[in-house]
Amino acid sequence: MKQDRREFLIKTGCTLGMTALATQMRHFGLMSALAQKVSDDKESAVPNDYRALVCIFMSGGNDGNNTVIPNHNDGNISNYTAYSNARLASGLAIDQAALLSIPVPRMSNLNYGLHPGLGPQPAGANIVNNGVHELWSQGKLAAVTNVGTLVAPMTRTQYQQNTVQKPFQLFSHSDQVSQYQGGRSDIETYTGWGGRMSDLRTSPDNPSGLIPMITSISGAQLFTAGQTTLPLAIAAAPTGLNQVLNPAGYNGNAASNARLLAFNQLRSQDLNSQIVAAASHVTDQAIAANTVFATFQDVTVPFPNTSLGNQLKQVARVIKKRTDLTVNRQVFFVQLGGFDTHNGQVNGQSGLLIQLSQAMRAFYEEMVVQNLADKVTQFTMADFSRTFSPAGVGAGVVGTDHAWANHHFVVGGGLTAADFYGVNTTNGTPFPTLTMNGPDDADSGTGARGRWIPTTSVEQYAATLARWYGLPDANLATVFPKIGNFTNTNLGFMQPPA
Amino acid sequence: MSSLKSRFLLRIISTSVFILVSLVIAYGQQDADPNSPTPVILSENDSTRALSSVAAKPKSRTASRAFLPGQRAEIFVTNISFMDGEGANSVRVYIEDAVGHEYRFPVIDVRPSEFQRGVYNVVFEMTDELRYWIEPPTQGDVLVRLTWRGLSSNRVRLAYGSSGGTIKDDPGAVPTPFASVGKNNSPTAELVGYKWSGDRMRFLEQATFGPTQSLDSRIRRIGLRTWLAEQFEMSYPSVSNPYPNIPLKSTDSQAAPPNGCGPQPNPNTPEYQLCIRDHYQMYPIQTWFYKEALYGEPQLHHRVSWALSQIWVISGVDTQQSSWMIEYHQQLSKNAFGNWRTLMSDMTLNPGMGNYLDMIRSTRTNPNENYPREVLQLFNIGLFMLNQDGTVQVDGQNNPIPTYDQNTINNFTKVFTGWRDCRVADLNANCPDSVAGLPDYKDPMSLNTGQHDLTAKTLLIYPGVTNQNVPACTGCTAAQIYTYAYNSLNQALDNIYNHPNVAPFVSKLLIQQMVTSDPTPAYVGRVSAVFNANRNNPAQMKEVVRAILLDPEARGDVKSDPRYGKLREPVQLMTNIYRNFNVSDAAGTGRSDGDINRFPSGQGQNAFIAPTVFNYYPPNFIVPGTTLLAPEFGIFTTGTAIGRANIGNSLAFGQINVALPNTPSGTKINIGDLQALAAGDTTSNQLLDHLNTRMMHGTMSPQMKTTLMTAVNAVASTNPLARAQTAVYLIATSSQFQVQR
C-alpha cells in the first residue's frame, strides 16, 4: 500500500513521541506506565475532526459590570439607570449612547450593551478590525453570565448563614485563579481542568505525542497541568515557531555537534535529584518540540501587534501546523494582564478590552481562513469580577475592588446562538440584580459593595466546553470532581458534536 | 573494600567517623563540622526488606507482615542524631509504589529505641499526605525512603497490602541490618581537598549572588560565623555604588524639562531617550542592583533585600518612576537586618507601595481593599492558620482554617484610609523631599484627616489576641483624628505582627528564597522560634538570617534528599555564572551592567518589574506532573528552559553589547585561568575537576564528567579558550547546575 505523507508522519511521530515519553518515564520513574503506552500505540489512525479550545485569561479580574451592561429601561429588572446610579457620580459609568447594542433573546429580547472597546475603533496602531461586537449579529459571540467559583449552588441566605460550603478564599487573586483554572473550589488542586481533560484525550487524539496536547503562550499555568500531561509553553509571536525552542550557538561543525550531544546527554544523568529531573524533563520536551517546529507557516489575517494579539497569532500558527503535528484536539492558554483595576479603570479597562477584542476578532477571522471557524472556540476566564460600587472617585482615578460572579465571552463558529447563557438568578434571568445589598449581593448592610453571588459555576461553564471538545460524559466527573453538585452540566451555548 | 558493601554505606559511616575526628583536630576557624550523618533504615539480615512492626505492638519486630492503609508502621533508623527539640517533623517518609508514583506518609513519632542504642523508632501513618495520586495500591512491596536535613537514607522494602510484587530495589541496594551498619568504621579516601569546601560553596550560593574564588578563600580563613558577623556590620550599599539619586519628575513624562522629558522630539533624540530611561523606566535601579550584585561587598545585605523585595512586592508595571522604586528599596533594605515590625511600618507608609497597592488613594468615602488584603495575605500571615513549624492547621473535617474573611479585610481597609503622597498642607506633615508641583514619592505618606475613617473596627481575631478592637472617633477634631489615625495604624500593624502566623510564614518564605524550596517543618520551626525570640530586637532579622543559613538543614557538603534545593531563579542563575568567573565590565563604567537585565527578563524575571504583586513566581508552585514544591518552576517552561540555556551561551561565549547611545560594551566573564588549565592538561581532567569544585561544589557525577570530557576534547587542543568555554557552557546550562542544592 502506498505510504502517503500523513501516514509517514504518524509513524515517525510515534517513534519521536515514544522517545520523549520514555524520557519522561525515566525522569519520573514511571516504567510500567510506559509499557502500557506501548500497547496503546498500536492504534495508528488519528481521527480527523479537529477541535481546539483557546482559553483567554483576563488576569487580575475583569470588571464584568462594565463589560456587559443593561441598555434598556425596563422597570422590572435592573436597567441602565440602576447601573448609572451606582457608577455615574464616580466617573466610572459608560455613557448609554456609547454602548454597543446586543439584543438578547434570553432576556425577552431586551437590549444590552457591550463596552465600547469591543467594537470598531478609530484608526490607529494595532487597530486591525471591527472588534468582536459584530460577531454577535453573526451568532458567533455569546455571553455566559453571572458565572463564578462555587462548591455547590448557594443562595444569599445560605451564603450569609454559612450553610453551604463556600469556595475557599473568595476575593483573593491567587485562590480564585486557581479555582477557575483548577476546576474545583472546595480544595486546592495540583492539576487544572485543561490538563485533566488532556490526560483523558491524549491517547485517542494525540497518539504521536509530537507536542503535548496543551500549549501555553503565557508560561506555566495550573490550567494546563495534568497528571500525565505537561504543557508546552512557548513565547508569543513575533518570535517564529522555529525559534521559540531553539538552543542558540550551535553551528553544525564537529565540535559544536559534540557539544550538542553532551548538552542532550546530560539531561539523562543525575536524576536522583527530583528537581534536576523535573528541569531536565521540561528541557527534553522543549528540544523534542523544537524539532517539529523547524518549519512553520505564518498566518494570513492581520493581527494586532499587542501582547494578546501576538499570543493568539502564535496559537494560530500552531493550529496551522496541526496536520504535521498529527494532533486532533488541542487546548491553548493565553493571558492578558492588567485587569486588576483598583484605580484608573476607565482608561485601563478600555485599553485592555480594545486589545482583547481586536485580538479575538483577528484570531476568529484567521480561523475562518483556515476553514476552522466552527472547530476552534475561544472563551474567557478571569480571577473574578469587580465590585459594582466603585473605589475612588474621578475619571482618572476611579477603580473597583475584588468581587465574584462575572460575565464571560465565548467566540466561535460552533456556538448555538448569540445569547446569554447560564443559570437564572433570583430575578428569573441569568443576569444579576444590580443592587447593592440586594438579592444577589454577597455583601450586606450599608457598606455593601455589590459582589454578585454566582448562579452558574465555573464547572458548568467549563463542562459545556469540555463536552464540545469531546470529553465523554463518563469522564466529566473525573475532570470536574464537583460537577455532581450542579444539575445542569450543559449550558447549551455550544452546538452538539456532529 | 568488601565488594558487598555499597559506596553509600561507606560514605555514611565514614561521615559519622569523621565528625568525631574533626572535633579533635583544631582548625583555624570557629565553625563546627557542617555535616550531619546520613540516616540508614535498618533491614532484615539477608534482604532489603525493612525491619518493621505495627506501631501498636512495638515488641513484634517481625519483618514480613503486610501493612494496611491507615495503619501505623514503625521502622528503625540508625546513623541519625537529633538536636534538642528535633523530632518527628524533622524527618519525612516517602513511599514509591510499583508504578513509580510517590507518596508521603506523615511521621507521627520519632524516639530512641528501647532495644538498641543509636537506633531510633520512626512511626508513620500509612496515609498519603501529598494527595496527588490516588492512594497507593495495596498490591505488594513499596520502597521507603526517609529524609532528614536534606539527606536521604537508603531505600528499603515494605509490604503494603500484600508482600512481593514487581517493584525492584534501587541499583546497588544492599541489606542494612544493624550488625553490618553498626560495625563498619573504616575511613575512606573521599575526604580529600579542603575541609568542607562543598559546604562553603553552597553557603555562598545561599548567602550571596554567587561564590567567587576570593570569597571562598576568605570564608575558609575566617569561617561562616565571622563572615556573617562582618556582613551584618558592613555599610550598605557599597561605598562605590550608592543608591542613584534620581529626582522626582512629573507624572506626565511629556511635561517640559526639568519636570518632564517632553515633548518627545521628532525625530527622536538620544537626550530624550536617556531622560526617559533614567527617570521613567527601571533602568537606573536595575543598573545599580546588578552592580551591587556583581561587584558589591555587602552581598548578604543585598541578597536579603532582594528576597524581601520578592515578598513585599512592588513593580515597575505600575511604579512610574525609578526614583519611587529606589525610595521603596531604601526603606526595604534599611530593615533587611532590622526588625520586622519596623519594616511593616515603613512599607505601609511608603508612597511607592501606597501607589502600587492603592492605599495612597484609599479614602473614607472611597475605600480601597488592595493593600489591606495583600498586607495580610502575601506579606505577613497568609490565608490559613499555621502551626509554628509552618504546617497548615485543619479543622475537624480536615479543611484548612482560614486566617480571616472579607469582613476582616473591610475593617482593615477602614484603618488604612486617608493617607496620601506627602503634602505639606496635611496636619503635622513632614515632607523634606517634596518638590513644589510634583507628587512626593519619597517621603512617607501623610494623613488627610478629613478622609480617615472614624468608625469602630475589629481587627484580626486569633488565639491570644489582645487589643483587637479599634474604637470609633466620635466628635473628633483634626488633631484628634491625626492621633487616632496613627494610633489605629499602629494598633492594626501590631495586631498583624502579633498573629502567630507571622513567624512561620516569613521564615518559610525566606528559607525558600535562600536555601531550599520545600524545607522540613522542623527547619521552619527552628527559624520561626528565632523570629519570635527576637520580636522586640531591633536586629531581629540578623538573628533570623543567621538561623536560616547556619541551620543543619542548610549546611553540609552534599545533600542527597531528592527534593532538596531550589531551581536557581534567572537573576541568580546569571549572577552566579558571572561572579564565579571574575566578572568585569570591559569599559569600566558599569553601564552595561544594567543591560544584562535582558537575560533574566526574557526568562520571566524582569528585575523590579514583576508582573503582579504575586511576584515573578508564587511560593506555593507545584511542578506540573509532580508533587514537588518548587516556586521557581513557576517561570520554568519549555520556552524559558531553552532561554536559560541561551543565557549560558551568551555568557560563556560572548559579552554584552549595549545598543543605546553612549553606552559601551562590556559585562563579561573572564576565564583566563581556565584557559591556562585547559592548555596545561590536554586530557581536560584538571579543567573539569576545577569546575566541579568551583561551579558544582563537588557534586559532579563521574558520568557527567565523562560526558563533558568527550565534548570538551572534541574541541582542538590548540584552542584552550574554546575548550574552557565549552566546559563552562555545558555545566552552566545543565540541569545539574540550574538547581542550587
DSSP string, A313-337: HHHHHHHHTHHHHT-SEEEEEEEE-
Task: List A215's β-bridge partners, or say none.
Answer: A232, A332
Put simply, the answer to whether A266 touches B563 (Cβ < 8 Å) is no
Name the DSSP class of A217.
S
> How confident is the model at residue B170, as a pLDDT?
94
Identify the sign of the CA torsion A57, A61, A66, A70: positive
- Answer whether residue A475 shows pLDDT above 50: yes
Q: How far is A271 from chain B (nearest CA, A)?
A: 9
CB-based contact (8 Å) between B664 and chain A? no
- Mean of the pLDDT values across residues B621-630? 88
Which positions ≥6 away from B229 have C-beta within 8 Å? Answer: none
Report the pLDDT value the prediction gives residue B657, as an integer from 0 to 100: 64
| Contact yes or no for A280 and B735 at CB 8 A | yes
Whole-number Å distance between alpha carbons of B423 and B444: 10
The average pLDDT across A357-363 equals 98
Q: State residue B654's pLDDT score.
A: 80
- The rounded distance, in Å, linking the Cα atoms of A155 and A164 is 9
Q: Which is nearest to B147 in space by CA: B46, B67, B39?
A: B39
Alpha-carbon gap, residue A348 to A6, rounded angstroms: 47
Question: pLDDT confidence of B155, banded at 50, 70, 90?
Answer: very high
Provide ipTM, 2 decimals. Answer: 0.92
Q: What is the pLDDT of residue B18?
A: 41
Q: Report CB contact under 8 Å: B711, A262.
A: yes
- Cα–Cα distance, B148 to A113 (Å, whole number): 61
- B43 DSSP 8-state letter: B
The conformational region for residue B685 under phi > 0 = left, psi -120 to 50 = alpha, else beta, is alpha
Residue pair A241/A318 in contact (Cβ under 8 Å)? The answer is yes
Q: Do B738 and A174 touch (CB under 8 A)?
A: no
Calculate mean pLDDT across residues B438-465.
97
Query: CA quadruple A237, A242, A245, A249: dihedral positive or negative?
Result: negative
CA R_g for chain B: 28
Q: How close, in Å, is residue B640 to chain A by CA atoms?
A: 8
* pLDDT above 50 (res B16): no
A120 touches A356 (CB < 8 A): no
Percent over 90 (pLDDT), chain A: 82
> Residue B703: its chain A contacts at CB < 8 A?
269-270
Nearest CA in chain A to B166: A32
**pLDDT tens-digit map of B209-259:** 999 999 999 999 999 999 999 999 999 999 999 999 999 999 999 999 999
Beta bridge partners, A362, equal none
Which three-class secondary structure state does DSSP give residue A148?
Answer: strand
pLDDT of residue B659: 57
In whole angstroms, give the CA distance from residue B135 to residue B102: 10
- Please give the Cα distance from A180 to A465 (Å, whole number): 14
Residue A249 has pLDDT above 70, yes or no: yes
Q: Which of A28, A225, A399 sits opposite B100 (nearest CB)?
A: A28
B125 contacts chain A (CB < 8 A): no
pLDDT digits (tens, 9 = 90+) for B292-332: 999 999 999 999 999 999 999 999 998 999 999 999 999 99
Is the CB of residue B414 less than 8 Å from the CB of residue B465? Answer: no
DSSP 8-state class, residue A342? S
φ, ψ of residue B96 to 5 degrees: the values are: -120, 135
Testing the interface with A: which of B735, B736, B739 to mutate, by most A Cβ within 10 A? B735
Q: How many CA atoms lie within 13 A of A394 on its CB side?
A: 9
Partner residue facing B406 (CB), from A171, A279, A338:
A171
Task: Assess whether pLDDT exceeds 50 at residue B567.
Answer: yes
Q: Quick one: pLDDT at residue A44?
A: 43
Inter-chain residue contact A234 with B639, CB threshold 8 Å: yes
Beta strands in B172-299, from DSSP E residues, in sequence order: none
CB pair distance less than 8 Å for B639 and A266:
no
In this structure, are strands B566-567 and B739-740 parallel, antiparallel, or unpaired? antiparallel
Residue B24, phi then psi, degrees to nearest 5: -80, -45
User: Is-contact B406 B641, C-beta < 8 A?
Assistant: no
pLDDT per residue as tens digits for the range B115-143? 888 999 999 999 999 888 888 888 899 99
Rounded CA separation B173/B43 (Å): 11
The arithmetic mean of pLDDT across residues B715-725, rounded, is 97
Dihedral angle of Cα A81, A83, A84, A86, to the nearest 10 degrees: 120
Average pLDDT value for residue range B281-286 = 95
Q: Taking CB atoms and an 8 Å cutoff, what residues of chain B touch A32?
A: 98-100, 166
Residue B368, chain A, CB below 8 Å: the answer is: yes
B664-683 as b/e: b if 16+ CB within 10 A:
ebbbbbebeebbebbbebee
pLDDT band at A36 (very low <50, low <70, confident <90, very high): very low
Inter-chain touch B100–A246, beta carbons under 8 Å: no
Residue range B462-485: average pLDDT?
A: 97
Kindly state the helix (H) or strand (E) to which residue A180 belongs, with its residue range.
helix A173-182
For residue B701, the chain A residues in CB contact (below 8 A) are 269-270
The confidence score (pLDDT) of residue B133 equals: 84
**Mean pLDDT, chain B, as a whole number?**
90
Contact B409 A171 (CB under 8 A): yes
Question: Is A95 or B654 the better-scoring residue by pLDDT?
Answer: A95
Query: Which residues on B lie below 8 Å from A190 (Cβ)?
Result: 132, 622, 627
The answer, for B377 touching chain A at a CB cutoff of 8 Å, is yes
Across chain A, mean pLDDT equals 90
Residue B78 has pLDDT above 50, yes or no: yes
Residues of chain A found within 8 Å of residue B710, distances taken between Cβ atoms: 258, 261-262
Q: Which of B16-25, B170-179, B363-372, B561-570 has the highest mean pLDDT?
A: B561-570
The reply to whether B450 touches chain A by the CB within 8 Å rule is: no
- Among A356-370, B158-172, B458-472, B522-536, name the one with the lowest average pLDDT: B158-172
A294-312 residue pLDDT tens: 999 999 999 999 999 999 9
Q: Is B731 helix (H, G, I), strand (E, B) or coil?
A: helix
Place of cell 435592573: A78
Asked if the C-beta of B623 comes within 8 angstroms of chain A's C-beta atoms, the answer is yes
Rounded to 5°, the CA angle A386-A392-A394 comes to 115
Name every chain B residue with its beta carbon within 8 A of the beta carbon of A342.
357-358, 368-370
Total Cβ atoms within 10 A of residue A448: 17
Residue with the bigger pLDDT between B395 and B136: it is: B395
Strand partners, B570: none
Query: Which grid cell sits at B277?
Result: 530611561
> In this predicted model, which residue has the larger pLDDT, B190 or A192?
A192
Return the amino acid letter for B147. T
Chain A residue numbers with beta carbons less than 8 Å from the beta carbon of B613 are 173
Q: Is the separation of the CB atoms in B444 and B331 below 8 Å? A: no
Task: Give the pLDDT band (50/70/90) at residue A498.
Answer: low
Residue B106 confidence (pLDDT) above 60: yes
Q: Is the peptide bond before A70 cis (omega within 30 degrees of 0)?
A: no
> Helix, strand, coil % (nearest 5) of chain B?
40, 10, 50
Cβ–Cβ contacts within 10 Å for residue B404, how many?
21
Q: Where are the domains of chain A?
A: 48-242+302-485
Cβ of B684 under 8 Å from any chain A Cβ? no
Q: Does B376 touch chain A (CB under 8 A)?
A: no
The pLDDT of residue A4 is 35
Mutate to test the interface with B, among A273, A310, A402, A436 (most CBs of B within 10 A): A273
B262, with CB counted inside 10 A (0-12, 13-18, 19+), is middle
pLDDT of residue B590: 54
B370 touches chain A (CB under 8 A): yes
> CA angle at residue B45 from B44 to B51, to 5 degrees?
15
CB B373 within 8 A of CB B409: yes
pLDDT band at A35 (very low <50, low <70, confident <90, very high): very low
**pLDDT of A18 above 70:** no
Q: Round to whole Å and give the CA distance between A133 and A120.
A: 8
Angle between helices B406-415 and B478-497 (to 10 degrees): 140
Q: Is residue B660 scored above 60 in pLDDT?
A: no
Taking a contact as any Cβ pair under 8 Å apart, which residues of chain B between 75 and 114 contact chain A? 96, 98-101
pLDDT at A83 over 80: yes
Would you say domain A48-242+302-485 falls under CATH 3.40.720? yes
Q: What is d(CA B529, CA B514) in angstroms, rounded to the nearest whole number?
A: 18
Q: Is the pLDDT of residue A6 over 70?
A: no
- Report whether B128 contacts B52 (CB < 8 A): no
CB pair distance less than 8 Å for B368 and A401: yes
Residue A244 Cα, gap to closest chain B Cα (Å): 6
Smallest CA-to-CA distance from B446 within B479, B478, B423 is with B423
